[in-house]
Amino acid sequence: MTDETSINPRFADAFVIFSVTLLSLAFGAWFLLRLGLTLWAGMVAALAVYTALLSVHLVVRRSLIAIDDDGDAEGASVHWTRAADRRESTPLPEPRPKDSFSFRPSREPTMAPATPEAAPPPAAGPATSARTAAEPREAEEPVRSEAMSFELIQGLIKKLADELNGKPATEPAAKPEPANATEAMIGRSVAGLQTTARAMQEPAAAPAPEAEPAAPATTRTWWSSLNRERAEESGLRPNAPPTLNPHVARIAEAIAAERMEVLLEPIHALAEGRPRHFEVSVRLMTADGATLEQSEFARAAKGSGLMPQIDAARMIRAARVARRLGERGRQGSVLTAVTGEALTDESFLDVAAVQPGNEGQMGLVLSFAQSEVRAFTPGHAEVLGTMAAGGFGFALDEVTDLDMDFGSLKAMGFQFVKLDAPVFLDGLPATGGRVPAADICRYLSDFGLTLIVGRIEDDWLLARILGFGVLFGKGTLFGGPRLVKEEIASGAPAA
């Protein structure tokens, strides 16, 4: 039965019901207008007409369905009779054993019922060979087609292995087939797997015996072939260099050439009106003469592997500035920004190990963003503890809330917390609520931390911040960052 024959009766029934409804309403209107019946009597008469017409439709429809069923039954009986005749004339293959080695899908579907448990294949022998030879040709065709399909797959596997190893495809010598077809297929499976395994284990280009030992060559060949396969899957050439962001390449070139300008910004003691601490930042000079500020190249180089090298360069120059300020009798700290990525880089840690964290009376303080400090692990804490023992101090920068364990930060060596003036005046969220600006200094001093407020741009803003008890601040009101002389940044001895 097609889709049309299954859908049309439904539309026909709907049409008949709709027509019967309209006809019943017409009869009801006629009863009211012509015969003068009341409304209730007209409705009852119309409903009776509707019921009678619908009953006639159901009787007629059932009679038609009975006729169709008789015709379908006759056609189905003829169809299944012919199918049964074909099954009787065509011999069916014997049930195959249900094991993972011998099962193969047949070329055409069969209606033969599956046995719950199939007997294992008989052992190979003269009797089995004689029985196999005596079977009809039609019963052997599925086995032969399976063997041919398997031989084709085996040949493709061997050809692929030869191409990967740079060897010409050669046809193996013919071997005598076992008498049993199942054992023959298992033997060919094992032989194919062994050939593929040997091909994968052999190096693509065998080196000379006197040049290199065999084991390292196998390892390198496996690694190179794996890289080649990954490159082919990604659509790249095996020896093609990785693509590099041009902007990151400019940054890397400026770092390698050490084209850096060092900037020094004073951090004033607000009550005294003079600088007590300093902050060092750098900017890069690219080969085309452009200048990259610290915030710009830090965003571009984040995650590229260049930040530990940049952090090491900033730390070295900050230490040189601290040394020169200490020689001039200054007391305080020199702050510089460092990323959390540097704490897991061996080259940065090697530089920090030989770099003194306290040059006379000026200490070296490394500033970390709050977002990175939240992700610190016990390994980071151990590195910070080792650096703190060597004289380094730490500061928490880019603070947006006070929902942190400041006691643990103090134990790791943190000394300062840096806030921008707009953030400070709006107050900061904390665990128990929101800490207003009037209580932030006291809140941090309870943990032994000193607050530094940045971006102080005018006297009115300075007066407001002083009223909340802030001790240190920086910004354009105090001059902002200034360029450090080249001889100081390069570490040349004082004249």
Query: In the prediction, which pLDDT does 21 show?
Result: 87
Which of 70-84, 104-118, 213-227 is most confident?
70-84
Residue owning tokens 């190249």:
297
| Rounded Cα–Cα distance for residues 208 and 190 (Å) | 32
Query: In the prediction, which pLDDT does 315 show?
Result: 95
Query: In the prediction, which pLDDT does 3 show?
Result: 47
CA within 13 Å, CB half, 321: 31
Q: Note the pLDDT tens digit of each residue in 152-205.
A: 656 666 665 565 555 554 544 444 444 455 555 555 655 655 565 555 555 444
Query: In the prediction, which pLDDT does 212 show?
Result: 42
Query: In the prediction, which pLDDT does 160 show?
Result: 57
Which of 231-240, 295-304, 404-413 is most confident?
404-413
Query: In the prediction, which pLDDT does 116 show?
Result: 44
Calculate the CA 407 to chain-centre distance.
36
Is residue 54 domain-resident?
Answer: yes
Which of 21-25, 126-130, 199-203, 204-208 is most confident?
21-25
Query: In the prediction, which pLDDT does 195 show?
Result: 60
Q: Note the pLDDT tens digit of each residue in 51-84.
A: 888 888 788 877 776 665 555 555 545 544 454 4
91 pLDDT higher than 90: no
Higher pLDDT, 437 or 68: 437
Query: In the prediction, which pLDDT does 46 show?
Result: 81
The rounded mean pLDDT for the chain is 74
Is residue 205 domain-resident?
Answer: no
Q: Note the pLDDT tens digit of each residue in 221-253.
A: 333 443 455 445 544 444 545 556 888 888 999
Q: Report the share of the chain in percent with pLDDT over 90.
A: 38
Residue owning tokens 């003194």:
356
Domain termination site, one of 89, 119, 136:
89
Task: Provide the residue range defining the domain that includes 52.
Answer: 3-89
**pLDDT-based confidence at residue 419 (cuts at 50, 70, 90):** very high
Count of domains forming the chain? 2
Query: In the prediction, which pLDDT does 167 show?
Result: 52
Phi, psi of 92 (to 5 degrees): -90, 145
Secondary structure of the chain in the HEC alphabet? CCHHHHHHHHHHHHHHHHHHHHHHHHHHHHHHHHCCCCHHHHHHHHHHHHHHHHHHHHHHHHHHHHHHHHHHHHHHHHHHHHHHHHHHHCCCCCCCCCCCCCCCCCCCCCCCCCCCCCCCCCCCCHHHHHHHHHCCHHHHHHHHHHHHHHHHHHHHHHHHHHHHCCCCCCCCCCCCCCCCHHHHHHHHHHHHHHHHHHHHHCCCCCCCCCCCCHHHHHHHHHHHHHHHHHHHHHCCCCCCCCCCCHHHHHHHHHHHCCCEEEEEEEEEECCCCEEEEEEEEEEEECCCCCEECHHHHHHHHCCCCCHHHHHHHHHHHHHHHHHHHHHCCCCEEEEEECCHHHHHCHHHHHHHHHCCCEECCEEEEEEEEHHHHCCCCHHHHHHHHHHHHCCCEEEEECCCCCCCCHHHHHHHCEEEEEEEHHHHHHCEEECCEEECHHHHHHHHHCCCCEEEEECCCCHHHHHHHHHCCCCEECCHHHCCCEECCHHHHCCCCCC
CB proximity list for 226: less than 8 A, separation 6 or greater: none
Mean pLDDT of 312-320: 94
**pLDDT-based confidence at residue 453 (cuts at 50, 70, 90):** very high
- Where residue 293 sits, what CATH number does that domain have? 3.20.20.450
441 pLDDT higher than 50: yes
Domain termination site, one of 73, 89, 105:
89
| Rounded Cα–Cα distance for residues 10 and 401 (Å) | 68
Phi, psi of 207 (to 5 degrees): -75, 170
Q: Which residues pair with 275 in a beta bridge?
A: 268
Nearest CA to 257 out of 236, 212, 287, 280 is that of 287
Which of 89-103, 109-123, 201-215, 331-345 is most confident?
331-345
| Rounded Cα–Cα distance for residues 362 and 279 (Å) | 12
Calculate the CA 430 to chain-centre distance.
33
Query: 132: which 2 tokens?
Result: 């196999």
CB proximity list for 427: less than 8 A, separation 6 or greater: 434, 435, 436, 437, 440
Domain termination site, one of 56, 73, 89:
89
Which of 43-47, 310-314, 483-487 is most confident?
310-314
| Rounded Cα–Cα distance for residues 147 and 197 (Å) | 21
Is residue 130 domain-resident?
Answer: no
Which of 74-88, 304-318, 357-371 is most confident?
304-318
Q: How many Å is the maximal CA-CA distance in the chain?
A: 131
Query: In the prediction, which pLDDT does 74 show?
Result: 54
Mean pLDDT of 129-150: 48
378 pLDDT higher than 60: yes
Is residue 271 domain-resident?
Answer: yes
CB proximity list for 493: less than 8 A, separation 6 or greater: none
414, 396 Cβ separation under 8 angstroms? yes
Query: In the prediction, which pLDDT does 70 show?
Result: 59
Query: In the prediction, which pLDDT does 63 show?
Result: 76
What's the pTM value of the predicted model, to 2 decimals? 0.53
291 pLDDT higher than 50: yes
Is residue 225 domain-resident?
Answer: no
